[in-house]
Amino acid sequence: MQQAIENIFDNKPDHYTPAHFALFADFKALLNAGKVRAAEPDASHPSGWRVNTWVKKGILLGFRLGSVVDMSIDPARQPFLDKSTYPVKQFTALDGVRIVPGGSSIRDGCYLGKSVTCMPPMYVNAGAYVDDGTMIDSHALIGSCAQIGRNVHISAASQIGGVLEPVGALPVIIEEGVLVGGNCGVYEGTVVKKEAVLGTGTILNRSTPVYDLVLGQIYRATDAQPLIIPAGAVVIAGSRAVTSGKGKDWGISIYTPVIIKYKDEKTGSKIQLEDLLR
């Protein structure tokens, strides 16, 4: 399958045949089952993760293959028009996923594990992988190819960025046990390691360094690796003073994420998820 997808993607045919559509259908079934992923753990990489470029090519191939069709439940009152290859994902009660009524959308070609809870309205894009026991709260977004671990809490209005192109770029990784607070944004291939906590309003991306007040280190993305938040770090939205030019004269500070502590028993008790809601 990998060889076939890469061949079709890299050598675009004049037209797509039934065999091409059948290949994509088989590929998408594996995405839906979580058997192929856009990225997966790999201890040999500095980030602990590697990109499966061929999988991202397969997802992009679906957009090439598809034509825009009417997917509306009621075309007059609420039209929905999208690529025929990416309809809304189908679920049954046997999947063990809770999709609370109220307007959420989960696109075909993504994986949601057992006991995932989806609070409306939220959105999961194609290529995403959401592992068992994760909570996706209201107005939250899981972008294309983002990888979310077990028992993660994506709080209300948080954005987990997606990336399809370039195909070699690492998507956002949120490892198991992470709490992403409300109105957070995690973008551009950032890796948040196990059990970390992102306080309300924290923004993480490739261009903004993170200051670790505990260990006295500064974490930055480089050409070789993404921004990596250490396991168990508690990150909040902070600021640092501009120390030169007009910024200094005007007393301006700019945003920066700050690690203020590492998770302990006290932190755990404050952020413990309410099991009764699950």
pLDDT of the chain, 278 residues: tens digit per residue: 999 999 999 999 999 999 999 999 999 999 999 999 999 999 999 999 999 999 999 999 999 999 999 999 999 999 999 999 999 999 999 999 999 999 999 999 999 999 999 999 999 999 999 999 999 999 999 999 999 999 999 999 999 998 888 888 999 999 999 999 999 999 999 999 999 999 999 999 999 999 999 999 999 999 989 999 999 999 999 999 999 999 999 999 999 999 999 988 776 666 665 555 55
Cis peptide before 121 (omega within 30 of 0): yes
**Residue 175 near residue 155, CB atoms below 8 Å:** no
- pLDDT of res. 208: 95
Out of 2.60.120.280, 2.160.10.10, 3.50.50.60, 3.30.420.60, select the CATH number for domain 13-69+83-268. 2.160.10.10
Give me the count of residues in the chain: 278
- pLDDT of res. 261: 97
Q: Which residues are registered as beta bridge partners of 179? A: 153, 197
- pLDDT of res. 77: 93
Q: How far apart are CA 107 and CA 90, in angstroms?
A: 9
- pLDDT of res. 166: 87
What angle do helix axes 53-65 and 2-10 make, rounded to 10 degrees? 60
- pLDDT of res. 181: 97
Residue 147: what are its φ and ψ, rounded to 5°?
Answer: -115, 115
**Residue 139 near residue 123, CB atoms below 8 Å:** no
Q: How far apart are CA 150 and CA 243, in angstroms?
A: 42
- pLDDT of res. 184: 98
CA distances from 169 to 52, 157, 191 (A): 10, 25, 12
- pLDDT of res. 270: 60
**Residue 110 near residue 93, CB atoms below 8 Å:** no
The tokens for 228 are 């990596």
- pLDDT of res. 268: 65
Paired sense of beta strands 98-99 and 179-180, if any? unpaired
Domain borders along the chain are 13-69+83-268
- pLDDT of res. 264: 84
Q: How far apart are CA 93 and CA 28, in angstroms?
A: 21
- pLDDT of res. 272: 62
